[in-house]
Chain A
Amino acid sequence: MSRQYVIRRLLVMIPSLLGISVILFCVLAMAPGDPFAELAANPAIPPEVAASLRAKFGLDDPVWMRYLHWIAAMARGDWGFSFASRIDVDTLILQRLPTTLMVIGAAQLLAIVVALPVGVLAGTRPYSIFDQVANTLAFVGFSLPTFFTGLLLILVFSVKLEWLPMVYRADLNVTGWQWVVEQVRQSIMPVLVLGLFQGASLVRYVRSAVLDVVRLDYVTTARSKGIGERRVITRHIVRTALIPVVTLVALQMPIIFGGALVTEQIFRVPGIGSLLISAMLANDTPVVMAVTFVLACLVVFFNFIADVLYGWLDPRISYR
């Protein structure tokens, strides 16, 4: 893969990020009323903080000036001050981000580990019993809203069986191996909810990509080489079927973050998703804006990763 390709994909991110920031800012600017009226009336906020915020957002400047000020401040890492938690927004987000990324990463891993073999098996035996069962379960899987699966799991594993803790705790008061065990126990359900939801749609993607590939001529060529069905599937079918799957997973990224938000809220996982909800319920506008923007940046960033992966998987792309 050529270096120019990676650089080009990096450069493509810039207009995307700018576009997203414009959309976000427009939403904020169009919002009726003064987004800071609430805090001016809030006795817990010192008036000078409110005033400095007003000045920084330049609420009396024309819209484009306000946008430039805002984007410049965001770029500098000056994301404002959380009224509810009384610390800087960037500190707050950095505290919460690792948890979210860990849960999403583990869930994505689970989804891939489950969906890849199932999808390949279903796609190479289309219309078999296995395929029909897998496909039906996949439909059930992505028709089950994450908030409902989360509640069902809690109902079964926490309330009835009492095997797993109901909520996620950041401050486990144990150490060493005990801590690891507890950490795993409390992560099981959030990861399961998110991972199975992702896995369900991934099964469909993999199956359909495999179905597309098995008809292609080079698969027949591969079979005619006498390398065995197993190698035909792993080397020739799966390897090429992964290319469209990567794109589809990238398109799913916004949904993955949406799902993470809900999951964090159900299990009280202290990630940025639950931070967003609590900030909204507390009318903490700087945090709301910053978290939304960070989530958007993460989506764009993972799209970039997917693009690079795509170029690595498909030699036709990166040579262009």
Chain B
Amino acid sequence: MAGSTPVSLTADPPVAAASATPARKARFSPGREAWRRFRRHKLAMASTVILGLIVAAVVLGPLVWRVPINEIDFSAKLEGPSLAHPFGTDDLGQDILARMLYGGRISLAVGLAAMLVACFVGVLVGAIAGMSRGSVDAGLMWLADLFLALPQLPLLLLIIYLFRDSLTKVLGPEGGVFVMVVAVIGGLRWMQVARLVRAQILSIREKEFIEAARALGASNSRQVVRHILPNALGPVIVAGTIDVAAAIIAESTLSFLGLGFPPDIPTWGRVLFDAKDTMDMAPHWVLFSGGAIFLAVLSINFIGDGLRDALDPRRVL
């Protein structure tokens, strides 16, 4: 990326790396060093601003743009962008901007919540595998490999197909679909985090300060929480960021296939799904909703790349 990854530059002349880095490290704390590296990733910085604006828009937007999301007006259907409707209207004459501001909250919330689920499960599995070793470790890693080989989207669809009705009965149409989508997307994306945490544990638990802690009688779980997890944090944050983007795409895909949120909850994928049949008459409808998904996902991916430069500089991919 633009002016990033200092390692690969200094790694070429071995002389340079040896003499230049210690002086650097002494001057900056790890946090400031990471921030310095992140700031140099221009696209990541720009993406942070864009994502910030998107988040601000969906959080504060509905307070400012007080147009109801379900006001049907057949006289104004499928209109292009205008002052009254900056993003135009849909086939029922509803204001697309208002719908997207409201639906964006759910799209982003699904991404964030699914990432948290994935990280929680991943850290748990990775920590158990890393600390226990032996057959438990082997079994859990086999499970992770197995999950990596599962065709996620079909499985996602299958689970939603089978469970949707009963969950909606318990939690209502909105809550039911939300809980299910978050649980399933998160539950199918924990493997990467689990592997990272396990690998970190395996490498760190050999290091001296863990030996020292063990000699002092610290218990296994204490070791994980106090010493190992903070060290594994960088790669996990990077993986988690990418997971947010993937979860947003997964939710949009479900909604786009007509198997996600119901029509009265206009997540961006749902808006796009509704828009696709009148694409020839109202292209703005498709462009705004698809563009919102694209912009959010792109900026999250760039932020992830910047974070990787900042927190996990050894890895290139």
Residues of A within 8 A of B (CB): 15-16, 19-20, 23-24, 27-28, 31-33, 35, 126-127, 132, 135-136, 139-140, 142-145, 147-148, 151-152, 154-155, 159, 204-205, 208, 211-212, 215, 248, 251, 253-255, 257-258, 261-262, 265-266, 276-277, 280-281, 288-289, 291-292, 295-296, 298-300, 303
Contact = CB atoms under 8 A, between A and B. Distances in A.
B290 A143 contact: no
A257 B143 CA distance: 20
Contact of A32 (B1, B154, B166, B294): B166
Contact of A295 (B142, B146, B151, B159): B151
B316 interface: yes
A255 B192 CA distance: 14
B310 to A, nearest CB: 17
Given A212-B316, A254-B150, A255-B152, A145 B8 contact: no
Interface of B: 1-3, 8-9, 11-12, 43, 142-143, 145-146, 148-155, 157-159, 161-163, 165-166, 245, 249, 252-253, 256-259, 269, 272, 276, 279-280, 283, 286, 290, 293-294, 297-298, 301-302, 305, 316-317
Judged by DSSP, the binding face of A is helix
A27 B164 CA distance: 13
B301 A295 contact: no
A23 B150 contact: yes
B252 A257 contact: no
Contacts of A300: 149
Given A265-B257, A277-B257, A145 B162 contact: no
A20 B253 contact: no
Nearest to B145: A16
A136 B286 CA distance: 24
B152 A139 contact: no
B158 A292 contact: yes
Residue among B269, B298, B317 having the largest count of chain A Cβ atoms under 10 Å: B317
B148 A145 contact: no
Contacts, number: 150
A292 to B, nearest CB: 5
Contact of A135 (B1, B11, B145): B1
A211 B8 contact: yes
Residue among B152, B153, B157, B245 having the largest count of chain A Cβ atoms under 10 Å: B153
A140 B291 CA distance: 12
Contacts of A33: 165-166
A104 B5 CA distance: 34
Contact of B276 (A132, A151, A204, A251): A151
Contacts of B294: 143-145, 148
B8 A126 contact: yes
